[in-house]
């Protein structure tokens, strides 16, 4: 049998760190990453024959769990028709319509292949549309690995304790202004000084790449107000939260659910100019998108002067996976995941309390993560996220892994559930928590 250790050794000879995306290398938790060979529902199986409850769900896309029969059937049917045509196909408009039904502010959409492409294009589009150069991002928010946004980024950049990335010219980030998250006064002040030079604010709808951090009351709506007042665009990055925390993403969760913010027509009182989507929209295949105001989106080529393109954009097999995923993701799916998330948060809290581990459980809708040693303040920004007792995570993680639970291998990542997480899977996770909490206490 070829073991994970063998496979990792081979991979390390062939690929930097043995991986094709850094956090998979287990750098912050140590040990040999299991090499996965199959997934079914909430379960993953590795090359050594171990079976894990998967709380990574491919870092978000697998809202319905692994190998959902309906999604697989749609994908198989698409594969049988051919893999890629380099021409428009019917499924692109089908996926676009499904997105628009859920998020009506998406008047036009462009499919791309990764979340990075979506945010990169959104930034270029905002600069082209406004004729301005400055872009505002928040410390700890991750928007993919595009040069201009790789400063004070979360996700793997936070996990590896990097301030940004080598290879990004100073000139490229000179037009990126980084502000502390959840600090509307800092945004007001910046716009008072430089508002006429700012093309856009980009923000995670609810950050989940410095651990999960909830936007404070009125924070996103405040960004909307300030950008509108100064003729700048608001780009809401829902690559991670989109179609996961609510049928209409975090924007939907925070607007549609609050009757006080609906207008007479029942639509939300405010929306960003542009959204970016990824992960769930492709159901596990490489698809992402940007969408929003028609007049802004029509600045994109071929109608407008802002160029963007992609050999595999709108790939028919990926479109089929996305369409099927959104079609199956009905209210029951969201209710199920919300309920499982509440249950797991409660069990996690009581296991850590019983072991005397100081912590907060950070959540935004059904997304959550644990931050150690933060009960005094909670985590509202990147400085607080970085100040936590992150050393407690590695022993916690390995105790869970030994008990057959596959968590994201970083304290800065959210835990992902799916509608396929059944009683057997949940019981295994819950049974593993007390020993993991003890390990974190040591």
Q: Where on the chain is the footprint of ligand PLP (CB under 6 A)? A: 59, 114-116, 119, 142-144, 155, 204, 209, 237, 239-240, 278, 288
- Report which DSSP code applies to 415: B
Of the pair 114, 121, the CB lying nearest ligand PLP is at 114
Q: How far is the CB of 418 from ligand PLP (least distance, A)?
A: 17
Comparing every residue's Cβ against ligand PLP, the nearest one is 115
- Report which DSSP code applies to 49: S
Of the pair 24, 108, the CB lying nearest ligand PLP is at 24
Please report which helix (H) or strand (E) contains residue 433, including its range: helix 423-441
Q: Please, is 311 exposed, middle or buried when counting C-beta atoms within 10 Å of its C-beta (0-12, 13-18, 19+)? A: exposed
Q: Which residues pair with 38 in a beta bridge?
A: 45
Q: How far is the CB of 142 from ligand PLP (least distance, A)?
A: 5
> Rounded to a whole number, what is the distance in angstroms from the first to the last CA of the chain?
35
Q: How far is CA 308 from CA 119, 134, 289, 368, 401, in A?
A: 12, 20, 12, 34, 42
Of the pair 240, 401, the CB lying nearest ligand PLP is at 240
Catalytic residue among 279, 334, 381, 382: 279
Catalytic residue among 52, 54, 142, 328: 142
Of the pair 4, 366, the CB lying nearest ligand PLP is at 366
Q: How far is the CB of 195 from ligand PLP (least distance, A)?
A: 25
Q: How far is the CB of 274 from ligand PLP (least distance, A)?
A: 13
Q: Which residues pair with 236 in a beta bridge?
A: 203, 275
Of the pair 275, 328, the CB lying nearest ligand PLP is at 275
Q: How far is the CB of 408 from ligand PLP (least distance, A)?
A: 11
Q: How far is the CB of 123 from ligand PLP (least distance, A)?
A: 12
Catalytic residue among 237, 250, 273, 328: 237
Is 237 tagged catalytic? yes
Of the pair 414, 419, the CB lying nearest ligand PLP is at 414
Q: How far is CA 63 from CA 30, 336, 337, 368, 393, in A?
A: 28, 11, 9, 15, 25
Of the pair 381, 398, the CB lying nearest ligand PLP is at 381
d(CA 429, CA 114): 31
DSSP for 306-328, written as a single string: B----TTTT-HHHHHHHHHHHHH
Is residue 56 a contact partner of residue 208, using CB atoms and an 8 Å limit? no
- Report which DSSP code applies to 45: E
Cβ atoms < 10 Å from Cβ of 258? 11
Of the pair 63, 288, the CB lying nearest ligand PLP is at 288
Q: How far is the CB of 164 from ligand PLP (least distance, A)?
A: 16
Q: Locate 357 and state its tokens.
A: 């581990």
Is 194 tagged catalytic? no
Per-position b or e across 340-378, b if 16+ CB within 10 A of its CB:
bbeebbebbbebbeebebbbbbbbbbbbbbbbbebeeee
Q: How far is the CB of 285 from ligand PLP (least distance, A)?
A: 11
Contacts of 147 (CB under 8 A, 6+ apart): 165, 168, 169, 172, 173
Positive or negative, the CA dihedral 159, 160, 163, 164 is negative
Active-site residue set: 142, 237, 279
């Amino acid at each position: 049998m070829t073991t994970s250790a063998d496979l990792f050794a081979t991979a390390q000879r062939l690929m930097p760190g043995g991986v094709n995306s850094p956090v998979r290398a287990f750098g912050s938790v140590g040990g040999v990453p299991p090499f996965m060979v199959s997934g079914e529902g909430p379960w993953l199986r590795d090359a050594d024959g171990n079976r894990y409850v998967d709380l990574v769900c491919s870092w978000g896309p697998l809202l319905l769990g692994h190998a959902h029969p309906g999604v697989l059937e749609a994908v198989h049917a698409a594969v049988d028709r051919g893999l890629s045509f380099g021409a428009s196909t019917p499924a692109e408009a089908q996926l676009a319509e499904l997105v628009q039904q859920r998020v009506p502010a998406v008047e036009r959409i462009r499919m791309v292949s990764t979340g990075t492409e979506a945010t990169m294009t959104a930034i270029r589009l905002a600069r082209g549309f406004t004729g301005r150069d400055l872009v505002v991002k928040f410390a700890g928010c991750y928007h993919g690995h595009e040069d201009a946004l790789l400063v004070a980024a979360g996700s793997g950049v936070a996990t590896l304790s990097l301030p940004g990335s080598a290879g990004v010219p100073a000139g490229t980030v000179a037009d990126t202004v980084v502000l502390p998250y959840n600090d509307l006064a800092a945004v007001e002040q910046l716009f008072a000084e430089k508002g006429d030079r700012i093309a856009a604010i980009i923000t995670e709808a609810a950050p989940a790449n410095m651990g999960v951090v909830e936007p404070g009351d009125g924070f996103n709506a405040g960004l909307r107000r300030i950008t509108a007042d100064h003729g700048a665009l608001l780009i809401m990055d829902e690559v991670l939260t989109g179609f996961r925390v609510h049928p209409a993403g975090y924007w939907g969760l925070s607007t549609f659910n609050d009757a006080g913010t609906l207008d007479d027509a029942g639509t939300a009182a405010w929306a960003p100019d542009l959204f970016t989507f990824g992960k769930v929209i492709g159901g596990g295949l490489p698809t992402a998108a940007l969408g929003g105001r028609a007049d802004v989106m029509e600045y994109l080529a071929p109608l407008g002067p802002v160029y963007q393109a992609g050999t595999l954009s709108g790939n028919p097999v990926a479109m089929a996976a996305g369409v099927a995923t959104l079609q199956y993701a009905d209210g029951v799916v969201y209710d199920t995941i919300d309920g499982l998330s509440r249950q797991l948060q409660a069990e996690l809290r009581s296991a850590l309390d019983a072991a005397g581990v100081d912590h907060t459980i950070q959540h935004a809708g059904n997304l959550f993560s644990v931050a150690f040693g933060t009960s005094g303040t909670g985590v509202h920004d990147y400085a607080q996220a970085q100040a936590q007792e992150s050393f407690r995570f590695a022993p916690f993680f390995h105790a869970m892994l030994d008990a057959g639970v596959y968590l994201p291998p970083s304290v800065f990542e959210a835990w992902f559930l799916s509608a396929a997480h059944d009683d057997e899977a949940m019981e295994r996770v819950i049974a593993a928590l007390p020993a993991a909490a003890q390990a974190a206490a040591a």
